[in-house]
Structure 1
Amino acid sequence: MKKNSLIIFLMGPTNVGKTLLAIELCKKIPFDIISVDSAMIYKNMNIGTSKPSKKKLKKIPHYLINIIKPTEYYSVSKFIKDVKKRINKTIKKKKIPLLVGGSMLYYKLLLENNDLLPNKNFKIRNYINYLSYNIGCDKLYKYLCYIDPVHSKLIHPNDKKRIIRLIEIFLISNKNMTYYKSIKYKKLPYKIYQFALIPCLKELLYNSIIIRFKKMLELGLEKEAYKIFKNPNFNKNLPSSKCIGYNQLYSYFMKKITYEEMIFKSIYATRKLIKKQFFYLKNWKYKINYIYNLNIEKNIKIIKKKIKKYI
């Protein structure tokens, strides 16, 4: 690994045009696209994750896409390890890693070089889940406050998912999140340029996700999700089942909600995700170069100008 090799981040909210810009960039600059998307990792979840077509992927490969089955588990720490391996392979090929996606937590932990958190242990997790149903989330939160009085103050008492994960980390490693946060990680040995592709008007982006989701349904999202739902190894607690669109369709298949409610909840969840992505960008402590999603050629010129001494 060459010290101070260049890496590019192309971040931004869902449906803003990151993938399209990345593909066009690859035609002009020797980039390798590395996906930073927590949903695109799953095989056979293509329509609902807006993956590029097989034809496009064959022409311009995207790494860390289609790497596990929807019935398998994948942790953030595993992603950090995998993406670092892929970065090094790209650099050895004398190409530039272009990390593209909207999973902001992945970028954050990568910048912190934080891959020490233990992988998920599903026997322990299932046991904590069992306890949550029997004794309630409030008692789990009290236990979290006992084992981690500092970090627990940052967690909402009703945030069951995070409470379970934090207790799981402690039971696996006998160390709490406050300990992991206190570790001084080594900085990544790269020159990193961070770009965020953003819309000129947020409302246009919010309106576009309605059209986007209805188009997904027209393309066969319901059929795609039902095939996964009918897999004998499927269960609602799998991380893949939390992906937007699929999660709501699974509730529809289980007759918990109507078809119209499924559409509404999917669009609402996407809006909520976009707001969260904007929140991350607004509070990002690293330098970001903001570019607007108006003109691809103009954006290519901006990026080329920033990194010209490396290409």
Structure 2
Amino acid sequence: MPSKLPLILIIGPTAVGKTELAIQLAERLNGEIISADSRLFYRGMDIGTAKPSREDLARVPHYLIDIVNPDETLSLAVFQEKAKEIIADIHARGKLPFLVGGTGQYIRAVTQGWTPPEVVADKRMRDELERMNQEKGSDWLHARLRILDADAAEKIDARNVRRTIRALEVILTTGRKFSEQRGQVESPYQLIMVGLTRPRPELYQRVDERIDLMFANGLIDEVKGLLKKGYPPTLPSMSALGYRECVSVVKGLLTEEQVKVEMRRVTRIFVRRQANWFKESDPSIMWFRVKDGVIEETEKYIRQLIDF
């Protein structure tokens, strides 16, 4: 038997089919699922984040979904701590943990022991960076990060304003690159990394269909509800793809069709960025093309590597 307890990772780009495959594998392998998708942390943000349905969530236990309100934050360090506690609890009960997501920093915070730089928050600097975000936008902030630390900019989504600001704060406070200040330790787990792929045209078609379904399911009404509850569009949670754009629809500045076009464009960019986080050339990841029989293929692969 391996000396380390297993952790199954299900990774891949947006809309590739991670959620359904993870649920089916967890059902077959006595597993439980931990979400590594930061968009799913927020309560009341269901449609625009493609959150699993209540029926799917009831099929197997899920963790780190609906754990904070939209005006609250969950830092990478807190996520890391919570995820490790949950994994330990799942192991203690004789079950198999699945970590599921498509964002590199959250996955690697758990699998590679990334630790955020221990730099005390500088409120004055953070306030200034947030002011610049209000005046010039998140793309301007991210461009500044790219100038100061291209490696960090490559790993941080331009729409994740909170993480962009934190990286800039650390750089400007310490005078050192953010990407050079992350600690890393050997993984405490037997990592079994399952990557999912589809042909790019097929993936883009699924993205388009998902966006159409979001609007059909009431994305605009969901955004109206968030605004009515007093959550402003400037919140980091509202930077999730689609939410801030839909505010423009609510205000009458854009049409639904214009927002759909923009969401398709930005999601395609995001899909290409995800390919840089988890490369198909990475020998530590076993990649599977999503097609008929992929459930059986991935189950067989996992069973070969762990003792059941």
Q: What amino acid is the match of 1:215? A: L
**What's the counterpart of residue 227 of structure 2?**
229
Secondary structure of the structure 2 residue equivalent to 1:32:
strand
**What's the counterpart of residue 59 of structure 1?**
59
**What's the counterpart of residue 267 of structure 2?**
270
Q: Does 1:109 align with 2:109?
A: yes
Structure 1 177/62 Cα, relative in aligned 2: closer, same or farther at 3 Å?
farther
**What's the counterpart of residue 290 of structure 1?**
287
**What's the counterpart of residue 216 of structure 1?**
214
Give, in whole Å, the separation in 2 of the partners of 1:24 and 1:255. 42
Q: What amino acid is the match of 1:62? A: H
Secondary structure of the structure 1 residue equivalent to 2:277:
helix
Q: Aligned ranges for residues 1-311 of structure 1 at < 5 Å?
A: 4-117=4-117, 123-124=123-124, 125-130=126-131, 151=149, 161=161, 164-169=165-170, 174-178=173-177, 181-182=180-181, 184-199=183-198, 201-232=199-230, 234-282=231-279, 287-295=284-292, 296-307=294-305, 309-311=306-308
Alpha carbons 2:8, 2:194 under 8 Å: kept: yes
Unaligned 5+ segments in structure 1 are none
Shift of 1:122: 8.9
Q: What percentage of residue pairs aligned between the two structures are identical?
A: 27
Alpha carbons 1:3, 1:189 under 8 Å: kept: no
Alpha carbons 1:81, 1:115 under 8 Å: kept: no
Shift of 1:9: 0.6
Secondary structure of the structure 2 residue equivalent to 1:266:
helix
Q: What number of residue pairs does the alignment pair up?
A: 299
Give, in whole Å, the separation in 2 of the partners of 1:75 and 1:130. 21
Structure 1 120/28 Cα, relative in aligned 2: closer, same or farther at 3 Å?
farther
Alpha carbons 1:166, 1:176 under 8 Å: kept: no
Shift of 1:40: 0.9
Alpha carbons 2:171, 2:178 under 8 Å: kept: no
Give, in whole Å, the separation in 2 of the partners of 1:192 and 1:65. 22
Question: Could you list the per-position Cα deviations for residues 56-115 of structure 1 after superposition, in whole angstroms to 9, with x for gaps in the alignment?
Answer: 212312111111111211222222122111111111111111011112221133333123
Question: Could you list the per-position Cα deviations for residues 239-277 of structure 1 after superposition, in whole angstroms to 9, with x for gaps in the alignment?
Answer: 211111212112322344332211111121221111111
Give, in whole Å, the separation in 2 of the partners of 1:140 and 1:291. 36
Alpha carbons 1:166, 1:177 under 8 Å: kept: no
Give, in whole Å, the separation in 2 of the partners of 1:269 and 1:179. 25
TM-score (norm: length of structure 2): 0.83
Give, in whole Å, the separation in 2 of the partners of 1:123 and 1:59. 43
Alpha carbons 2:116, 2:183 under 8 Å: kept: no
Shift of 1:203: 0.1
Q: What amino acid is the match of 2:249? A: Y
Alpha carbons 1:209, 1:270 under 8 Å: kept: yes
TM-score (norm: length of structure 1): 0.82
The more displaced of 184-193 and 91-100 is 184-193
Shift of 1:134: 7.5
Q: What amino acid is the match of 1:164? A: I
Structure 1 58/283 Cα, relative in aligned 2: closer, same or farther at 3 Å?
closer
Secondary structure of the structure 2 residue equivalent to 1:65:
coil
Q: What amino acid is the match of 2:254? A: I
Alpha carbons 1:10, 1:197 under 8 Å: kept: yes
Question: Could you list the per-position Cα deviations for residues 213-259 of structure 1 after superposition, in whole angstroms to 9, with x for gaps in the alignment?
Answer: 11111111111121112222x22332211111212112322344332
Unaligned 5+ segments in structure 2 are none
Shift of 1:186: 2.1
Give, in whole Å, the separation in 1 of the partners of 2:226 and 2:171. 32
Give, in whole Å, the separation in 1 of the partners of 2:131 and 2:55. 44
Secondary structure of the structure 1 residue equivalent to 2:46:
coil
